[in-house]
Chains A and B, each alone.
Chain A
Amino acid sequence: MIRDFEYFTPRTAEEAFALLSHYGDESKVIAGGQSLLILMRQGLVAPKYLVDIKGISSLDYINFDMKEGLRIGALASHRAIETSRVVRNGFGVLAEMEQRLASVQTRNWGTIGGNLCHGDPTGDPAPVLIALRGELKMASLIGERTMVVEDFFKNYFETALRNDELLTEIKVPSPLPHTGTAFTKFSLIVGDYAIVSIAVSITLNSNGGECCDARIALGSVAPVPMRAKQAENLLLGKEITDNIIEDAAQIASREAEPITDTQASEEYRRELLRVLVRRVANDALQRAKKA
Chain B
Amino acid sequence: MQLKELKLTINGRPYNFDVEPKTTLVELLRGNLGLTGTKTGCSDGSCSACTVIVEGKAVKSCSILALQLNGKNVLTIEGLEHEGKLHPIQESFIEGHGMQCGYCTPGMIMSAKALLEENLNPTEQEVREAILGNLCRCGTYPKIVRSILAAAKEMGGM
**In the assembled complex, how far is the CB of residue A48 from the closest CB belonging to chain B, in whole angstroms?**
11
Q: Does A18 contact B (CB under 8 A)?
A: no
Q: What 0/1 pattern do residues 5 to 48 of B give for CB contact below 8 A with A?
A: 00000000000000011101000000000000000000111001
Contact in complex: A54, B132 (CB < 8 Å): no
**Distance between Cα atoms of A54 and B63 in the complex (Å):** 14
Q: Which residues of chain A in 16-70 are interfacial with respect to chain B, using CB atoms and an 8 Å cutoff? A: 30, 33-34, 37-38, 40-42, 50, 52, 54-55
Q: What 0/1 pattern do residues 179 to 192 of A give for CB contact below 8 A with B?
A: 00000000000110
**Distance between Cα atoms of A109 and B65 in the complex (Å):** 11
Q: Which residues of chain B in 49-74 are interfacial with respect to chain A, using CB atoms and an 8 Å cutoff? A: 51, 54, 57-60, 63-65, 67-68, 70
Q: Does A163 contact B (CB under 8 A)?
A: no
Q: Does A79 contact B (CB under 8 A)?
A: yes
A34 — which chain B residues lie within 8 A by C-beta?
A: 45, 63
**In the assembled complex, how far is the CB of residue B33 from the closest CB belonging to chain A, in whole angstroms?**
19
Given contacts A4-B20, A6-B2, A38-B44, contact A52 B58 (CB under 8 A): no
**Distance between Cα atoms of A41 and B46 in the complex (Å):** 13
Residue in B closest to A4 when the chains form the complex, CB atoms: B1
**In the assembled complex, how far is the CB of residue A45 from the closest CB belonging to chain B, in whole angstroms?**
12
B82 — which chain A residues lie within 8 A by C-beta?
A: none
Contact size range, A = 20 to 34
Contact in complex: A4, B48 (CB < 8 Å): no
Contact size range, B = 20 to 34
**In the assembled complex, how far is the CB of residue A142 from the closest CB belonging to chain B, in whole angstroms?**
28
Residue in A closest to B130 when the chains form the complex, CB atoms: A104
B134 — which chain A residues lie within 8 A by C-beta?
A: 103
Contact in complex: B67, A109 (CB < 8 Å): no
Contact in complex: A52, B68 (CB < 8 Å): yes
* B133 in complex: contacting residue of A6, A7, A79, A103, CB < 8 Å: A103
Contact in complex: B58, A37 (CB < 8 Å): no
Q: Does B129 contact A (CB under 8 A)?
A: yes
Q: Does A243 contact B (CB under 8 A)?
A: no
Q: Does A156 contact B (CB under 8 A)?
A: no
Contact in complex: B133, A37 (CB < 8 Å): no
Q: Does A162 contact B (CB under 8 A)?
A: no
Q: Does B85 contact A (CB under 8 A)?
A: no
Given A33-B64, A79-B57, A106-B63, 13 new contacts (CB under 8 A): A2-B22, A4-B1, A4-B21, A37-B63, A38-B63, A54-B68, A104-B132, A105-B111, A106-B45, A106-B60, A108-B58, A109-B54, A191-B133
Which residues in A have some Cβ–Cβ distance to B below 8 Å?
2-7, 9, 30, 33-34, 37-38, 40-42, 50, 52, 54-55, 79, 99, 102-106, 108-109, 190-191
